[in-house]
Chains A and B, each alone.
Chain A
Amino acid sequence: QVQLVQSGAEVRKPGASVKVSCKTSGYIFTGHYIHWLRQAPGQGLEWMGWVNSNTGGTNYAQRFQDRVTMTRDTSTSTAYMELNRLRYDDSAVYYCARYGGNSEFDHWGQGTLVTVSS
């Protein structure tokens, strides 16, 4: 079965960076884009961007353009999201999700809580 397993919770100070991993299994990794989304406490879902699991190409939401980097490692079927220059309002649960190909996200990781605190 399709699984996306994310790395564990992280605590960072303002201005630092965090890198979250998303290890996939149960399907051909290079056949589906991986998207990253986040959800601040008590808030809705926010899309951050995607990485083409085959080519490594990326597309980022404009508000994260200068702070985020999404990569992938095809040898381990793992996608990564690194967010730099963290601010307090970056505290959120970060999700990776598999793009199903019909405009939808058909499988999600369990989420990674990132807390930005001094």
Chain B
Amino acid sequence: SYELTQPPSMSVSPGQTASITCSGDKVGTKDVSWYQQKPGQSPVLVIYQRSTRPSGIPGRFSGSTSGNTATLTISGTQAMDEADYYCQAWYSSTVVFGGGTKLTV
């Protein structure tokens, strides 16, 4: 089975840049999506196709991939960005999620 690996947690000061990684086999060749989930809420799509922001998502969210790693970057992190973040990709007709990263601001 395929796995996507994320750091369980990370902490960033307000105004700083948070970079959340997602590693897995050939992730750099896949259309990786990222979701933000706040406590008690449904996940919200923040990045798809590696680097595309849906309408309504602030410009401080960006995505990139390289080799076996995808990265979600939040520039100028705000308190409202404190949440769990999940990466997601398709492997052989199966959807795989990373284990999630709890971002503390």
Contacts and interface: CB of A to CB of B under 8 A. Distances in A.
Contacts of A110: 42
Nearest to A62: B94
A45 B93 contact: no
A45 B42 contact: no
Main secondary structure of the interface of B (DSSP, over half): strand
Interface residues of A, number: 21
A45 B89 contact: no
B42 A104 contact: no
B48 A59 contact: no
Interface stretch (B11-19, B20-28, B68-76, B95-103): B95-103
B88 to A, nearest CB: 7
A97 B55 CA distance: 17
A35 B94 CA distance: 11
The size bracket of the interface on B is: 20 to 34
A47 interface: yes
A47 B35 CA distance: 14
A46 B96 CA distance: 8
A103 interface: yes
Contact of B99 (A44, A103, A111): A44
Interface of B: 30-33, 35, 42-45, 48-49, 52, 54, 86, 88-90, 93-100
11 contacts: A44-B99, A44-B100, A45-B35, A47-B96, A59-B93, A97-B43, A100-B48, A103-B32, A103-B33, A104-B48, A106-B45
